[in-house]
Amino acid sequence: MTERRDISIKVPVLARVEGEGALDIEVRGGKVEKLNLRIFEPPRLFEKFLEGRSYYEIPDIVARICGICPVAYQMSAVHAIEQVFECDPGPWVREMRRLFYCGEWLESHSLHIHLLALPDFLGFSSVTEMAKKFPDEVKRGLALQGVGNEIIRLLGGRSVHPVGARIGGFHKAPSLADAGTLLQKINEQLPNAEALLRWTAAIELPERPQSFTSVAVRHADEYPMNHGRIVSDAGHDLAIDKFSSHFDEHQVPHSTALHCHLDGKPYLVGPLARLNLNHERLPQPLKILLNDCGVVYPNQNMFHSIIARAVEIYYALFEAQRILENYCVPDAAYVEVRPKAGIGYGCTEAPRGLLWHRYELNDSGDVVSAKIVPPTSQNQARIEDDLRSELMSFGLFHSDAELRHQAETVVRNYDPCISCATHFLDLRIKRG
């Protein structure tokens, strides 16, 4: 019997993703026998922080869960609490929340594509190295990210941890002048979004299709952001309050991060899953552009997630343009609410995928209990499956350093929100 060689590589990986953790792999007989994405950082306990807090504090607290996608946490929370209060903020608020979300998709997707994914696929160690060869492309990406931040600032007061959202709407309505200035900047960025989509679609990406279940929100009339039912390409079509009937969050022995399964199996959330389930709801100009680029959905190649993000960048600009072209200043930016006891649910599409909230409130509108299921937790089991498949396809005969880099590329491809859900640090391989 061959003696097993235990190799522990304690060096930082995912250097372009904040946080700590480990990937443990056992290789025996040329196959991955065991693979664990091990998260060992203590939980942040945001759900417990919310207990006893008044409903009006919740949007500003949950915005602190993530510096990249605070809007998603705010929107899922306000929808859930408004459901308890039986509050309908009306069409103006609904459109502005959609615009708010467009800003977040723009800044988050642009940062991921240019700072995380493109250096991997183009063979650079960092975006600063990549910028030496592609300076105009990096500037273009930062410009797209910047206009996303400006959209968030328009409604949120600031681009990081925005404070403009409230139960019932927004604290303040933007002026016509500010909306018009932002619309001009959005119009200027649409050619950049088209160029980015054409560029990512032309990159030579690994062709390794896999079998996985896509899960996303679906709306009858629009590409999903804030509203809809939870659907999958395995036939699920659920009201958001039925999430717990099919989705199960559970502890795994090797990680402090929860894993979530759909009917006992891993699944995918995020831009690729959204497009797999909702591509027919894209506007016609974008459909024509996709056809011209040879981009087809549904798509089972996880490495094409970078293209999916570029598609959603174009869509977010196109949708923001539509909303701002029809912008008007309302009589009031919010509706008054009356607290009451009950249980409410919110489910929206964060840049990284489906984000589900549940709140139980008392008669005064104070939080009795809260449950938040972020997209990164939902993708944890899918990431482990992807790592097994990709490392086998890549070849286990490669050095530990090469396997580590390939594993990093796989994990970064999911745009994991390490700061709000998990951490990652080193790779340990046991070869038998």
What's the pLDDT band for 421 if we cut at 50, 70, 90? Answer: very low
**Residue 405 pLDDT:** 87
Average pLDDT over residues 323-352: 97
Q: CA quadruple 266, 404, 110, 279: dihedral positive or negative?
A: negative
Lowest mean pLDDT among 65-69, 149-153, 237-241, 393-397: 65-69
203-231 per-position pLDDT tens digit? 999 999 999 999 999 999 999 999 999 99
Task: Retrieve residue 254's tokens.
Answer: 């090797």
Q: CA quadruple 11, 15, 20, 25: dihedral positive or negative?
A: negative
**Residue 428 pLDDT:** 67
The residue among 126 and 164 whose pLDDT is bigger is 164
Average pLDDT over residues 11-37: 69
- Percent of the chain at pLDDT above 70? 91
**Residue 3 pLDDT:** 31
**Residue 228 pLDDT:** 97
Average pLDDT over residues 425-432: 63
Coil, helix or strand at residue 317: helix
How far, CA to CA in Å, does 148 sit from each of 98, 103, 158, 183? 13, 4, 12, 12
What's the pLDDT band for 15 if we cut at 50, 70, 90? Answer: very low
Domain ranges of the chain: 5-43+378-431, 46-377
Structural contact between residues 164 and 171, judged by C-beta atoms closer than 8 angstroms: yes
**Residue 40 pLDDT:** 62
**Residue 21 pLDDT:** 64
Distance from CA of residue 56 to its chain's centroid? 25
**Residue 252 pLDDT:** 85
Average pLDDT over residues 53-74: 93
Show the CA angle centred on residue 21, arms to residues 16 and 24, nearest 5°: 115
What's the pLDDT band for 41 if we cut at 50, 70, 90? Answer: low
CATH superfamily, region 46-377: Cytochrome-c3 Hydrogenase, chain B (1.10.645.10)
**Residue 108 pLDDT:** 96
Lowest mean pLDDT among 7-11, 117-121, 193-197, 373-377: 7-11
How many whole angstroms separate alpha carbon 94 and alpha carbon 170?
11
Provide the CATH topology of domain 5-43+378-431: Ubiquitin-like (UB roll) (3.10.20)
What's the pLDDT band for 104 if we cut at 50, 70, 90? Answer: very high
**Residue 426 pLDDT:** 53
Structural contact between residues 388 and 35, judged by C-beta atoms closer than 8 angstroms: yes
Structural contact between residues 304 and 205, judged by C-beta atoms closer than 8 angstroms: yes
**Residue 6 pLDDT:** 38
**Residue 432 pLDDT:** 67
* Contacting residues for 124 by C-beta, under 8 A, at least 6 apart: 118, 130, 133
Q: For all residues of the chain together, what is the average pLDDT?
A: 90
